[in-house]
Amino acid sequence: MQGCYFVSGIDTNIGKTIATGFIAKQLMLAGRRVITQKLIQTGNQDCSEDILTHRKIMGVPLFAEDKARLSMPMILSYPASPHLACRLENRTVDMQYITDCTDRLLAAYEVVLLEGAGGLMVPLIDNGSHDGVLIIDYIAKQQYPVILVTSGRLGSINHTLLSLHALRCYGISVYAVAYNQVDDGDDGLIAADTKQLLQAQLARHHPTAKWWEIPCLS
């Protein structure tokens, strides 16, 4: 791995933060210089709770880039989609500033894992006109390969296949699907069938993509 990888999910609360921290930890153990970044953090005040979770999983203190807010370029207090949280605070998402922060991280690290907010179709900018921006629009513009986080809970098949289809339609490379075992739910039969079907679909439509499994972290 080299460069920036966008970590998205099939839904909110699917385990993007845990997956991002775990993957970063494995890269660190392999001797790679890696840092994580949060695209936009909502529901926080002064510091991104997702970045704090990444560092805890990685077993490291905050980096200088965290304290300089390069890894958390935009924090909004209301726990909602970025477009609504911005509207409530009378702010606008500065996409160029976020990109500049990512580029500065890339100048110092081999790998940047950029965690998104919610799923692929979450609106970043929605002013009711043609120039609105979805997360998937931003990924496509930057040409970041995607690590898609999913799980075995009921509903994951539909949401995962829709997400993979959207990525294919936008011409976005799927680097890996990260299967979050902690969100498997209580029905092992559903989880096992979901995993088998998703692996088959991934091999069929994204044959170069990797399949990773994120363990339940204590």
Of the chain, the end-to-end C-alpha distance in Å amounts to 26
- Residues near 9 by Cβ (< 8 Å), separated by ≥ 6? 15, 16, 116, 118, 119, 148, 149, 150
CATH for 128: 3.40.50.300
Q: Categorize the per-residue pLDDT at 13 as very low, low, confident or very high, splitting at 50, 70 and 90.
A: confident
Q: What is the pLDDT of residues 171-209, one digit of tens each?
A: 999 999 999 987 666 778 988 999 999 999 999 999 999
Token pair 């840092």 is at which residue? 35
Contact 211, 195 (CB under 8 A): no
The pLDDT value given to residue 181 = 87
Taking Cα atoms as reference points, which of 29, 23, 74 lies closest to residue 47?
Answer: 74
Angle at alpha carbon of residue 6, lines to 61 and 101, rounded to 5°: 60
User: Which residue range is the domain that position 69 belongs to?
Assistant: 3-151+161-214
For the annotated binding site for Mg(2+), the residues are 17, 50, 115
Number of structural domains found in the chain:
1
Helix/strand/coil for 169: helix
The pLDDT value given to residue 218 = 56
Q: What is the pLDDT of residues 118-138, one digit of tens each?
A: 999 999 988 766 678 999 999
- Could you say which of 38, 56, 141, 195 is catalytic? 38
In-domain check, residue 194 = yes
In-domain check, residue 97 = yes
pLDDT averaged over every residue in the chain: 93
Give the span between the Cα atoms of 168 and 60, in whole angstroms.
36
For the annotated binding site for ATP, the residues are 13-18, 50, 115-118, 180-181
Angle at alpha carbon of residue 57, lines to 53 and 60, rounded to 5°: 95
What is the pLDDT averaged over residues 90-109?
96
Helix/strand/coil for 200: helix
What is the pLDDT averaged over residues 50-66?
97
Residue 186 tokens read as 């209580």
- pLDDT exceeds 60 at position 105: yes
For the annotated binding site, the residues are 13-18, 42, 50, 115-118, 180-181
The pLDDT value given to residue 201 = 93
Q: What percent of the chain has pLDDT over 90?
A: 85
In-domain check, residue 156 = no
Helix/strand/coil for 58: helix
Q: Tell me whether residue 38 is one of the annotated catalytic residues.
A: yes
Q: What percent of the chain has pLDDT over 70?
A: 96
